[in-house]
Amino acid sequence: MSTTTFVPLSAQPAITRRVRAYFAPVDRVNKVPSIFDPSVNGQFSLSAPPAPWVDLGWIENFGRKSESKFTELVTGSPGITQFQARETIDAVVSFRFKVWSKLTMALSAGSQHMNLLTPAAGSTANGSGSKGITAVSLAVSSTATFLSLAATDAAKFPAGSMVAVDVDYAAQTGFVGSGVYAAYVSSASAVNSDPDYIRRVTFNVARVLSVTTTGTATGLQLAQPLLAGVPASGMKVQPLLGFVDREGGSFFQEWSALFVMPGEQGDRILFHYPRLQALAGAAETGTALAAPLERIALNTNFRALPVTDANDGERVVCFRSYLPGTITLI
């Protein structure tokens, strides 16, 4: 008989260098957030999160605060507190994104986020972008990383360009956008019945890595997979130049979030917010580097919204998990 043992260490202080942020879509139509289960995926590789979580890198100035309020039942004379109850449940979280991207800009905006479609010749100037050039249709053999196009269509997109991939707007109302619900349309007239409207707001965007215009498989090789996965039937491609958000509007984005603090002793702290909505509008913070350079970070402020825990039916807004190191007492 053999016995395997080890010498356990006393519990150690939690020491971490930084915080990493991951976000995932919320199904706004069915009111279903993306749920992170720490018992299944708690020790995932930080650079390869499980689907559908998107890695948004290291963040700074991370802060979370419970704003829940408690009340008490007082009886007797003199009054003595006999019971406590939660009067309200509320929590907020804030941090700064160090890098700018489609997702980080959208998350920090506090409102609807749009793509700046490449403008058509002679289009009327507009603050959130002009009418775009004509979209081109995809072939059925497209994948999340390769857009199959006719050779003549593929030639319209140079390597290094950016594209939006989604269906035409065809009088749909309600939430629109593939992969992530990007906007809410009250009526066709509200968006001028513009066939490009969904591609204007979609999160299904990518940069073109290379272009193939000869042979049997012509199209665009993407540098990153599309957020919505394999393109659905009817999707089209349109070039874009950048992104824009606005101060104002009526739409609130909603996302599921996960924040991870990797410990120096092999432990890990995780904060999971199934539903977050912006608590403030867009703002930036400048950090001085070597003069005259300045690093511009994106400020974010979110309010946590409730979900029901399937284990006991309780309404909660956040889950905090701790995974101890492998050789410490618990």
Q: pLDDT per residue over 211-260, tens digit each?
A: 999 999 999 999 999 999 999 999 999 999 999 999 999 999 999 999 99
pLDDT for the residue 153: 97
Residue 140 lies in a domain: yes
Question: Which structure tokens are listed for 97?
Answer: 């994104």
pLDDT averaged over every residue in the chain: 94
Residue 47 lies in a domain: no
- Residue percentage of the chain with pLDDT more than 70: 99
Q: Which value, to the nearest 10 degrees, does the dihedral of the CA atoms of residues 259, 262, 263, 265 take?
A: 150
Residue 174 lies in a domain: yes
183-185 and 69-75: which strand pairing? Answer: unpaired
Q: How confident is the model at residue 123 (pLDDT cuts 50, 70, 90)?
A: very high
Query: Where among 245, 278, 305 does a domain terminate?
Result: 245
Question: Which structure tokens are listed for 57?
Answer: 């890198």
HSE-up of 74 (CA within 13 Å, CB side)?
A: 7
Whether residue 113 is predicted with pLDDT greater than 80 in this model: the reply is yes
What is the helix (H) or strand (E) element at residue 106, kind and residue range?
Answer: helix 102-109
Instruction: Note the pLDDT tens digit of each residue in 8-38.
Output: 777 778 889 999 999 999 999 999 999 999 9
Q: How confident is the model at residue 150 (pLDDT cuts 50, 70, 90)?
A: very high
Instruction: Note the pLDDT tens digit of each residue in 31-60.
Output: 999 999 999 999 999 999 999 999 999 999
SS3 (DSSP) at 295 = strand
CA distances from 96 to 124, 202, 245, 248, 330 (A): 35, 24, 17, 21, 33
- Which residue range forms the structural domain that includes residue 276? 19-36+52-70+85-110+252-323
Q: How many domains does the chain have?
A: 2
101-118 mean pLDDT? 95
pLDDT for the residue 1: 65
Residue 100 shares a structural domain with residue 203:
no
Residue 183 shares a structural domain with residue 239:
yes
Q: How confident is the model at residue 5 (pLDDT cuts 50, 70, 90)?
A: confident
For 158-309, strand residue ranges (E) read 162-166, 174-176, 183-185, 205-212, 219-222, 236-245, 254-262, 268-278, 283-288, 294-304, 307-308
Whether residue 330 is predicted with pLDDT greater than 90 in this model: the reply is no
Residue 219 shares a structural domain with residue 192:
yes
Whether residue 62 is predicted with pLDDT greater than 80 in this model: the reply is yes
pTM, 2 dp:
0.91
Query: Where among 245, 278, 310 does a domain terminate?
Result: 245
Residue 280 shares a structural domain with residue 260:
yes
